[in-house]
Amino acid sequence: MAKKRGQGIAAIIYGTGYGNGFPDVSSATVEIHDDGSATVHTGAVDCGQGSDTTLIQIAAQELGVSTENITLITGDTDSTPDAGTTAATRQTYASGNAVLRAVRVAKQKLLQYGASVLGVNTPEGLEMVKGVVSVKGYPQKQMSVAELAFQARFSGVRLLGEGTFVTHTTEVDPDTGQGAPYWPYAFGTQIVEVEVDTKTGKVDIIKAIASHDVGKAINPQNVRGQIAGAVAQGIGYALMEEVNLGEGRINNPNFSQYLLPTSMDMAEIEPLIVESDEPTGPYGAKGIGEPAMLPTAPAILNAIYDAVGIRLNSLPATPEKVLDLLVSKQE
Amino acid sequence: MAANLNLKVNGQEYQIKVDPAKRLLDVLREDLGLTGTKEGCGEGECGTCSVILNGKLVNSCLVLALQADKADILTVEGLAENGKLHPLQQAFMKEGAVQCGYCTPGMLLAAKALLDSNSSPTKEEIKLAISGNICRCTGYDQIIRAVESVVKARERN
């Protein structure tokens, strides 16, 4: 049989955020407008991973309005408060928390004003759902968010909120390496099935199942997209991608020599979302950007071993390397 | 030195004078202001700048502008009709086939070129049709599913 199939599994733990005591701070501001809509300012930059969508959803959820009512302004050093880099799997968690805190401050101001208007002795006696502020237990007594916000402003109450979130991190002991460098941690497990061509050494990916703990999937479609994209990058890392350096120069500086996976290299990917509720995250969420890439390569190498009994100790598992190992195994 | 160039882009006729060293990609973006077409590698390896030229999918970075004289060109701006998104665009949105969005114009046109020549392609044919277009975000799965959903909707009608 020239082609042999095998399955491999790998599991990871990954610390999100900058870690090791590095300052990890996100800030946001929110203003609720006269019509009940709100504008959020934060430095968090969406590079395509979907943080804009996620942050808008968080603000809308907390304000009890639809996402169309949220305007998000990001990544403008003239006007947005710093929210750190889009790196380290940190924007949903750190900037999501900052937005949530900012919204809660603005909302509290609105509810405080609302308490006086609706004749409730504390703002805790009010709730804000679907664009309406109503008295808990007596919902007949209510006012639209828009009407209340409009009145508040003409009474001299500005509905502004600022939120800053600092991710917990401490430097590890330099002698022992012990400590609590990160929070939160991401967990994931992937199972990959491969087919190895024993005549050419080429490895094809048949299927990848990728199960990841994201705390809470604020936008499940975006989370699945992040996982599927990460598996694709993991396949590239495992089978193709290698920077070839020579005398200080990159010898393969283009896509015809540095190979990225194309649609033809891709397998069926089945992303699975595990929601464990991260108590420090916005609505229980934590990041998924980097961790979803990590189990793919070890799972593929384990699958190659399962298929043809060879262990690769360097990446990528190119046909040349696989074939060499197959030949020396036979000798 | 400038040369005359006659083009039809997204149904509109253009008569312009261009630097003969310009690529079709440059003319679309700089002279016609159609910045929906993106430049990726600039050497025909990534497919980002894909447009449909006389019915064929081409990398507009590899076409000299003057080679496109009298040609009929479709760019991503021409996909929507009368303010209504093309079914492929709607499917890309619905299936989450867009992440950073940089490959999206080229992907849409690669899929359009396929569907123009093959009304009911198989999954393998879809994968082959978009294989010249690199995507680093999605893992292609959602893009393939988006195209499949358009094919299925057509078969139902």
Rounded-to-10 torsion of CA A106, A110, A111, A114 = 180
Q: How far apart are CA A227 and CA A269, in angstroms?
A: 9
Say if A3-15+182-330 and A25-166 have the same CATH topology: yes
Q: Report the pLDDT averaged over residues B145-156.
A: 95
Q: What is the DSSP letter of A66?
A: -
| The domain over range A25-166 is classified in CATH as 3.30.365.10 | yes
A16 by DSSP, 3-state: which? coil
pLDDT of res. A318: 97
Q: How far apart are CA A234 and CA A165, in angstroms?
A: 31
A253 touching B (Cβ < 8 Å): no
B97 shares a domain with B149: yes
Q: Cβ A254–B134 below 8 Å, yes or no?
A: no
Question: Could you say which of B96, B132, B134 has the minimum Cβ distance to residue A260?
Answer: B134
Q: What is the DSSP string of A96-164?
A: HHHHHHHHHHHHHHHHHHHHHHHT-SSGGGEEEETTEEEETTEEEEEEEHHHHHHHHHHTT---EEEEE
User: Min CA distance, B78 vs chain A (Å)?
Assistant: 24
pLDDT above 90 covers a percentage of chain A that reads 98
User: Min CA distance, B33 vs chain A (Å)?
Assistant: 24
Per-residue pLDDT of A129-138, as tens digits, reads 999 999 999 9
Domain total for chain B?
Answer: 2
pLDDT tops 90 at residue A173:
yes
- In B, minimum Cα distance to A49 occurs at B99
Torsion angles phi and psi, residue A20, rounded to 5: 55, 35
pLDDT of res. A227: 97
Which of B55, B76, B97 terminates a domain? The answer is B76
The CATH class of the A3-15+182-330 domain is: alpha beta
- In A, minimum Cα distance to B124 occurs at A264
Domain map of chain A by residue range? 3-15+182-330, 25-166
pLDDT tops 70 at residue A1:
no
pLDDT of res. B1: 80
Would you say residue B126 lies in a domain? yes
pLDDT of res. A267: 86
Domain region containing B54: 3-76
Per-residue pLDDT of A79-111, as tens digits, reads 999 999 999 999 999 999 999 999 999 999 999
B100 shares a domain with B49: no
Please, which residues have CB within 8 angstroms of residue B28's CB and are 6 or more apart in sequence? Answer: B9, B34, B37, B51, B60, B73, B75
Would you say residue B99 lies in a domain? yes
For chain B, positions 84-123, list CB contacts with chain A under 8 A.
Answer: 96, 99-102
Would you say residue B82 lies in a domain? no
* Average pLDDT of every residue of chain B: 97
Which of B56, B76, B96 terminates a domain? The answer is B76
**Conformation bin of residue A324: beta by default, left when phi > 0, alpha when psi is -120 to 50:** alpha
B50 shares a domain with B103: no
A147 as an active site residue: the answer is: no
